[in-house]
Chain A
Amino acid sequence: MSTVPAIRVRGLVKRFGDVEVLSGIDLDAPRGEVTCLIGPSGSGKSTLLRCIALLEEATDGFIEIDGEPLGFGLGPNGERMRLPQASVRQVRAKIGMVFQQFNLWPHMTALGNVAEALVTVHGMPRAAANAKAMAELDKVGLAARAEHYPSELSGGQQQRVAIARALALEPRIMLFDEPTSSLDPELTGEVLSVMRGLADSGMTMLVVTHEIGFAASVASKIVFLDHGKLLVEGAPGTVFGKPRHPRIEQFLDTYLDRGAAGLL
């Protein structure tokens, strides 16, 4: 295996009008490991993830997935130029995305949600796609719920279907944007356990999360963002261990109040 990181971000800048949300982010996410992005609200962590998923177009900077440029590359004269749609599709196919709001399509069953792209995008016959979708649902423990519509599933179940939907396309990298933030603690547990299993299977994961306990126990790398800048990065032991960066100390205080102290 080469030492090319699964995700490499260089000098990423994102502005919305006059507001600079990301001010020159450099980030490497190692292959086969879990990288957690943490930080206070408005620090730009979700925007960073959305740039990597190409749901937002970065204002400046470069993103590479497995060494291949995503969205923008270098032109013949060294200028930043937009890459053709075909290249974008090909690189994007390596990435799976899971949202805070699940975003299942309400008019399709759990099975339909998972099978949709297999049929529509990859032209797989319906029967084969359904079989594959069923296998993916089984992996997240929801084979019995395959024929249910999203409205008939709990939040935790919906999020597990959303994870299965992304995994069915066999991505190399999974992005998670606050996957448990709209779930109550009980349902959070079932989603985190699916994510733990995925991490154990060697999936490269980049996770924006407020679950400090999950980050500390599953991630090999923690990245702390603050005001659009990468403030601290390193192994959980280094980032959370003492002495801590004063900004992290301050940030963690809010969690220690909520009983996470024992996890660190």
Chain B
Amino acid sequence: MTSLLGYLGGEDGRNILSGLVNTCVLWVVGTLLGTVLGFLTAVARRYGPRPIDWLLKACVEVIRGTPFLVQAYLLYFGGPYLCLELGGASACLTLDPFEAGILGLTIYAGAYFSELFRAGFDAIPRGHIEAATTVGLDRWQTLRRIILPEMTMLVLPAMVNMSILLLKETAVLSIISVKELKFQVDIIGNRDYAFVEAFTILALVYWALVELCGRAGRYAEARLSRYRFAHS
């Protein structure tokens, strides 16, 4: 136990803290951008032309059908081979590990969130949208004022769950050398051959973050619970 606490001070402690900060940034930014991407994807699939729906559906299937580890690896190491030639100039998808981590997490989260939102759209009673139509709300106003808030309260529990999964997926990014929590802890483990101590710290920190997220989620749900559907 003393050796475990020993890692929390000095140089190691600072490294663990900076890893924690990076993990949180990856998690929060990836979740937020993923939410936006997922929402746009769901809207495009619902309101856009048929081919867009098919294309996005295929993307979602691929992302959901492959491990995040593989996606992160392909994005980071394969990105530089993805080049776009435009009038003599060429741009390649060369990213530093952190950028690749954010982008990968956003795409991964976006695929899952888009499915959540799609189910959320379908769960809104048709009559609520018809009521909006009869009082004169146009499509955009209906989306903004009725569909979006109703969907949010429907999918919130599932979103909290998904963001907890995303937090734990950030650990995968250590394989493309993103300096997040797991990466820092690996260094200590390798140096001192103290994997049990190091990974115990790792487990406790992730668990604490998940608890925090779960509590925030329950608080938000409690705030929203009075909006629950009056009938059905």
Contacts and interface: CB of A to CB of B under 8 A. Distances in A.
Question: Which of B132, B133, B134, B146 has the most CB atoms of chain A within a 10 A radius of its CB?
Answer: B134
B150 A169 contact: no
Interface in A78-122: 89, 92-93, 95-97, 99, 101-107, 116-117, 120-122
A165 interface: yes
Given A103-B128, A107-B150, A116 B226 contact: no
Given A116-B145, A151-B228, A151-B229, A105 B136 contact: no
Contacts of A204: none
A92 B150 contact: no
Interface stretch (A23-31, A35-43, A152-160): A152-160
B137 interface: yes
Contact of B134 (A53, A101, A104): A53
A169 B135 contact: yes
B87 interface: no
A55 B137 contact: no
B125 interface: yes
A97 B137 CA distance: 14
B230 interface: yes
A120 to B, nearest CB: 5
A117 B136 contact: yes
A99 B230 contact: no
Interface centre among B131, B145, B146, B231 (most CB of A within 10 A): B131
A202 B149 CA distance: 37
A149 interface: yes
Interface in B112-145: 125, 127-128, 130-137, 141, 145
B227 interface: yes
B145 to A, nearest CB: 6
Contacts, number: 79
A105 B127 contact: no
Contact of B226 (A95, A103, A152, A169): A152
Contacts of B226: 149, 151-152
A149 B135 contact: no
B153 A107 contact: yes
A121 B134 contact: no
B229 A106 contact: yes
A97 B136 CA distance: 11
Interface in B181-232: 226-231
User: How many residues of B sit at the interface, in one of the four size bands?
Assistant: 20 to 34
A102 B137 CA distance: 17
Contacts of B135: 116-117, 121, 165-166, 169
A120 B141 contact: yes
Contacts of A55: 130, 133-134
Contacts of A97: 131, 134
A121 B150 contact: no
Contacts of A165: 131, 135
B131 A120 contact: no
A86 B137 CA distance: 13
Given A117-B135, A121-B136, A169-B136, A106 B228 contact: yes
B10 to A, nearest CB: 51
Contacts of A182: 231
Nearest to A121: B136
Contacts of B228: 106, 151
Interface string B10-40: 0000000000000000000000000000000
A150 interface: yes
B94 to A, nearest CB: 45
B149 A107 contact: yes
A101 B150 contact: no
Given A55-B130, A158-B230, A106 B136 contact: no
A149 B227 contact: yes
The 6 A-B pairs at the shortest CB distance, nearest first, are namely: A117-B135, A103-B127, A103-B131, A150-B230, A97-B134, A121-B136
23 contacts: A55-B134, A92-B134, A93-B136, A99-B130, A99-B131, A101-B125, A104-B230, A105-B131, A105-B132, A106-B153, A106-B227, A116-B135, A116-B137, A120-B145, A121-B135, A121-B137, A121-B141, A122-B136, A149-B230, A151-B226, A151-B227, A162-B131, A169-B136
Given A99-B130, A116-B145, 5 more contacts: A106-B227, A107-B150, A122-B136, A149-B227, A165-B131
